[in-house]
Structure 1
Amino acid sequence: MKKKEISNMFWVILGVVFFSLGYRWFLFPAGLYSGGFTGAAQLIKDFLLRVVGIQVPNSIDLTGIIFWCINIPLFILGYKSLGTKFFYRTIIAVCIQSLLLTWIPAPKKPIFSDELLNCIIGGVVSGSGVGITLRAGGSGGGLDILGMYCAKRYPDFSVGKISAMMNAGIYFIAALRYNIEVAAYSLVFSIIAAVVLDHVHYQNIKVCAFVVTKNKSLGESINRCVSRGVTSWSGWGEFSHQEENIHMIVISKYELQTLKNLIHQMDPDAFVLIVLPEMIWGHFEKRLEVR
């Protein structure tokens, strides 16, 4: 196994550990619900324990076992559509996460007496974990696999809508089963986790690059290298009193280093401006980069 693959697996596992700790130490003791497949597993567990009457030792949390079971169809989906590397990283991550969710000792009482503080800290820890796992080319299962599958096969498909509808259903049931506060605090947890995830996982961050260069072929090379659309026009440098070629491209932050390397290779003297756009409107292909 190559050093790079070992490094990626280390970060995948570390991310899974972070997510599991966020759930077991902050969310579970507070009686709150996660979003996605973990939240669905929590609801199924509640049904089995409270309605069906299944008896399990207090040291075991059925959430992890159920989470593993409902991920089995997605294992097949991930293997067939996203490649063997992603599949093996994901199946290892899901197995470890299921074990951790089942066996990590949870405090009998919430760590913080303030529910909001539990949501914030738990959301930061769990969101960081998911982001680290995705950034290393793995997945914690559930909506991660479904989202990446849709992003690759159907670029215009709204993964966010599926996630929003699923989470809305989870929190609606939680509100009916318990009270509105449980649903509200659970929602706060998920929002914080999602925000942290977007900042950790580079592929969720879009940047706009403006490149001013004298190399006329740079725009075409950028298009070939990162397979992104490039808008080019001619300009005039008031300082240099020379014609310039200006290229604009929107890429994910994950692709930024590739762009930098290409520009440095073709025109080390190019002027580059990188900005974070407030909004991107129009077609922008979402991709999964598996390393």
Structure 2
Amino acid sequence: TDSGVVLLAGLVFGWEGALYAIVALFVGGAVSDYILEGPSVIRTATIITDYPDTVAQAIIQQMGRGVTSWQGTGMFTHKDRGVLFVTVGRQQVGTLRRVVREADTHAFLVIGQGHAAYGQGFREISGDELV
């Protein structure tokens, strides 16, 4: 809907005003994300795969991220599968999707949002922040 309003405003009031509207929408969205999500929003991914070693090694080698692994059983199929857990920055989600898809085209990938991550590769754990 925003794009329709900006397009209509460009036709009626001129394209310079429409350009300012686009910039204002972008800045407003970025500020809203920062206020609602905070400065250190991270993404967590759970990956269910038949090839946990292959997928994990691809993530480690191509992204430099650690991966935690465990075994799970699909309750619909009753098949054992590998379950992987990895934490990445918001800007790395696209890369993670690509890496997982290239390693296992049938993997099941769930991306979640985390408030903060502490430890190696993220913020250092300090007593003051853990309230």
Task: Confirm or deny a common fold (TM above 0.5).
Answer: yes
Residue 27 of structure 2 corresponds to residue 128 of structure 1: yes
* Other structure's SS at 1:276 match: strand
Letter in 2 for 1:267: D
Residue 99 of structure 2 corresponds to residue 262 of structure 1: yes
* Other structure's SS at 2:114 match: coil
Structure 1 residue 265 displacement after superposition? 1.5
Tell me how far apart the structure 2 counterparts of residues 193 and 236 of structure 1 sit (CA, whole Å). 40
Q: Could you say what the CA RMSD is over the residues aligned between the two structures, in angstroms?
A: 3.2
Match of 2:76 among 239, 262, 273: 239
Deviations 1:195-223 (A, max 9, x none): 35x78x9xx53100000000132112111
Match of 1:205 among 18, 24, 41: 41
Quote the residue 1:195 is aligned against. Answer: 34
Letter in 2 for 1:245: G
Aligned length: 98
* Other structure's SS at 1:207 match: strand
Quote the residue 1:101 is aligned against. Answer: none
Tell me how far apart the structure 1 counterparts of residues 34 and 71 of structure 2 sit (CA, whole Å). 38
Q: Provide runs of 4+ in structure 1 moved above 2 Å.
A: 192-196, 278-286
What is the aligned-residue identity percentage?
22
Letter in 2 for 1:206: I
TM-score of the two chains, using structure 1 as the length reference: 0.29
Q: Which has the higher strand share?
A: 2
Match of 1:284 among 117, 121, 130: 121
Tell me how far apart the structure 1 counterparts of residues 112 and 33 of structure 2 sit (CA, whole Å). 22
Tell me how far apart the structure 2 counterparts of residues 246 and 272 of structure 1 sit (CA, whole Å). 10
Q: Which has the higher helix share?
A: 1
Quote the residue 2:3 is aligned against. Answer: none
Tell me how far apart the structure 2 counterparts of residues 193 and 278 of structure 1 sit (CA, whole Å). 15
Tell me how far apart the structure 1 counterparts of residues 33 and 88 of structure 2 sit (CA, whole Å). 21
Deviations 1:172-212 (A, max 9, x none): xxxxxxxxxxxxxxxxxxxx68935x78x9xx531000000
Check the 8 A contact 2:42/2:115 in 1, yes or no.
no
Structure 1 residue 285 displacement after superposition? 3.3
Unmatched tracts of structure 1, length 5 or more:
1-20, 22-124, 132-191, 287-291
Quote the residue 1:249 is aligned against. Answer: 86
Quote the residue 1:218 is aligned against. Answer: 55
Tell me how far apart the structure 1 counterparts of residues 32 and 98 of structure 2 sit (CA, whole Å). 32
